[in-house]
Amino acid sequence: MAGNRKKPAIKLLRTRLLLDDVHSVLRGWYFRISSRKVQSTAEFLDGHVLSEISIQMKWREDLKEINHSRFHNMGLGCQLVNHSVLRPGEVFSLRRFFGGTTEEQGFQKGPMFVRGRVDYMAGGGSCLISTLLFNAAMKSNLRILEKHNHSTDLWGEERFIDLGLDATYVYGRKDLKFKNTHEANIYIVAELRMDDLTLTCRFISPKPLSCEVSVTTEVLEELEPAVNSDPESPTEQRPYRKGWVVMTRRMTNREENRMGKITYRKKEHYKPFFLS
């Protein structure tokens, strides 16, 4: 019976992957997607740092042994994208590096938010690498082709990065894609320092950026969970996380044009949910 249940799921996944490929072909991205890596760091050691993003992680006592798995997944995610290179006009797709984040690939069970609750699945915690890469691409003024926020504000005030700046990854459903619109190669360096639990990503290029880049987020609306009509379970007594509507913008300034130009703008929703 288990084998029969897996077959529809496998067919659905294959269909989603095919649709993603067709979409990329129609948009002209597919044949520009690169998974190339450099063999020697000498190529970019003397380059210009276009962007550097660091995220300070925390050891969560409530997760117990899952902490080891989530940090293992973050470290593995860094290894998979580390030293990759994008030539001008090429497209980065996280799917080409992460695949299905399965145990066969070396990923372990970590926390994921699925259907309104925390579950533990292979690859949990690897979305932090997607978030790192998205923010580095934003600060490098690269064109964002595909990006998805998480469906909820899972950690609330203990979130690792501002709302609107997170990027999730789900194999066959939600990818991170961006295009190198810079005039030279871009080298990606990603690492997890276990001594201070810091994730770091740098985009390096032989040529510096030709503009200044600023990224801002704005909360447009707070969302409350739907009121429960059952008098035996009043909503106000149940702990919950708020939902949000957030606008993220990126603006560039050049010396000859101090007015600035918006090069990215996206409104995203985070659903409210009850904690128990």
20-55 per-position pLDDT tens digit: 999 999 999 999 999 999 988 887 888 999 999 999
Q: Where are the domains of the chain?
A: 13-208
pLDDT score for 2 = 44
- What would the mean pLDDT of 164-191 be, rounded to a whole number? 95
pLDDT score for 254 = 75
Quick one: pLDDT band at residue 118, thresholds 50, 70, 90?
low
Residue 44 backbone dihedrals phi, psi, to 5 degrees = -125, 5
Quick one: pLDDT band at residue 6, thresholds 50, 70, 90?
low
